[in-house]
């Protein structure tokens, strides 16, 4: 069966951006100096159990330095300023405004990606995001990780699913693109649990999905679960799971990630967690073997649609 996505088999954000902007578009990973309400006691303490000290932004760096390096490889490339580390709407709105507009001042920065928690989108912040959405290419990333409340409690996410639903609706009303983060392999979750999280997320008005491989990093609470209280999949098992997941994601939803960027010096398990290229190759091979592609079973009339 032919894939409408060619040899890649899924609707990658890289392909989407290339078609939309006519050139290579690269994300600049930024640490704007924000913190997180799940660390400072406002929503919780200690943070999510998988989160590293850098607030899930271990590669974050500055804009001119990154552009200087990247432009050597892609001289005609453009950039999206990706506010990655910690919670990037967790500051007074005037500070947020200053940071976002500063990033847009660089001539080759053509848009913004803002990662945050769904409980950090006040009316004033939504108003600012709506303003930016009129002026530039924008998406907002929400760290959901799972739809299951018992897992959410276990990972110390510190907000219920209803808050995520409200945030997606509020962004959708403003025509702001939403990207959902989900983690594959959280403690205690079965394959069905993970696919149910994906399936439900896809029933919302979302632009994209990030599927994160569950990496166990040093100096996180999750490290205390290792090795006895967490299942670490073999690479082949993970590849199969990702392909199962992509098969139930509708084709219009962009795929922003299917692995995770794990700094090798922090990675405890899985030991193959940093082998991004090999995981991607494995996913393509598995799609080819199955004769399938993203969205193949996400079809109401399909007899093979999983009962979730
Ligand atoms: S994952 Fe996000 S919400 Fe959770 S502790 Fe880290 S920065 Fe905060």
What is the chain's pLDDT, residue by residue, as a tens digit (308 residues)? Answer: 567 788 889 999 999 999 999 999 999 999 999 999 999 999 999 999 999 876 666 656 699 999 999 999 999 999 999 999 999 999 999 999 999 999 999 999 999 999 999 999 999 999 999 999 999 999 999 999 999 999 999 999 999 999 999 999 999 999 999 999 999 999 999 999 999 999 999 999 999 999 999 999 999 999 999 999 999 999 999 999 999 999 999 999 999 999 988 888 999 999 999 999 999 999 999 999 999 999 998 654 443 444 44
Residue ranges around ligand 1 (CB below 6 Å): 36, 38-39, 47-48, 51, 55-56, 86-87, 117, 143
- On the CB side of 138, how many CA atoms lie within 13 Å of its CA? 22
The CA-based angle 86-89-95, given to 5 degrees, is 110
CATH 3.20.20.70 holds for 6-290: yes
Which residues sit opposite 113 in a β-bridge? 82, 139
CA of 300 to the centre of ligand 1 (A): 35
- Nearest-atom index, ligand 1, CA of 36: 8
C-alpha triplet 11, 108, 34: angle, nearest 5°: 80
Give the up-direction half-sphere exposure of residue 169: CA atoms within 13 A in the CB hemisphere: 6
User: pLDDT, tens digit, for every residue of 236-295?
Assistant: 999 999 999 999 999 999 999 999 888 889 999 999 999 999 999 999 999 999 999 999
Residue 231, C-beta contacts closer than 8 angstroms, at least 6 positions apart: 185, 187
pTM exceeding 0.75: yes
Query: Which residue's alpha carbon is nearest to atom 4 within ligand 1?
Result: 48
Q: How many whole angstroms from 216 Cα to the centroid of ligand 1?
A: 15
């Amino acid at each position: 069966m032919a894939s409408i996505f060619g040899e890649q088999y899924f609707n990658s954000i890289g392909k989407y951006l290339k078609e939309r902007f006519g050139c290579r578009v690269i994300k600049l990973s930024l640490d704007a100096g924000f913190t997180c309400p799940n660390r400072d006691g406002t929503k919780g303490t200690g943070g999510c159990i998988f989160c590293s000290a850098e607030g899930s932004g271990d590669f974050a760096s500055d804009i001119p330095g990154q552009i200087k390096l990247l432009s050597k490889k892609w001289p005609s490339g453009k950039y999206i300023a990706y506010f990655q580390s910690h919670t990037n709407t967790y500051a007074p709105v005037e500070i947020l405004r200053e940071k976002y507009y500063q990033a847009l001042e660089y001539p080759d920065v053509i848009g913004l990606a803002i990662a945050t928690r769904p409980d950090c989108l006040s009316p004033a912040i939504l108003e600012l995001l709506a303003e930016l959405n009129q002026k530039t290419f924008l998406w907002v990333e929400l760290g959901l990780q799972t739809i299951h409340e018992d897992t959410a409690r276990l990972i110390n996410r510190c907000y219920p699913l209803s808050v995520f639903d409200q945030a997606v609706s509020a962004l959708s009303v403003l025509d702001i693109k939403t990207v959902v983060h989900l983690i594959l392999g959280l403690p205690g979750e079965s394959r069905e649990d993970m696919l149910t999280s994906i399936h439900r997320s896809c029933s919302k008005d979302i632009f994209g999905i990030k599927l994160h491989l569950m990496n166990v990093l040093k100096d996180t609470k999750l490290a205390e679960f290792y090795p006895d209280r967490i299942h670490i999949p073999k690479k082949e098992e993970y590849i199969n799971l990702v392909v199962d997941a992509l098969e139930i994601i509708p084709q219009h939803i962009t795929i922003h990630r299917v692995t995770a960027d794990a700094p090798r010096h922090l990675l405890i398990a899985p030991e193959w967690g940093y082998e991004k290229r090999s995981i991607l190759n494995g996913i393509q091979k598995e799609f080819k073997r199955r004769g399938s592609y993203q969205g193949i079973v996400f079809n109401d009339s399909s007899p093979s649609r999983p009962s979730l």
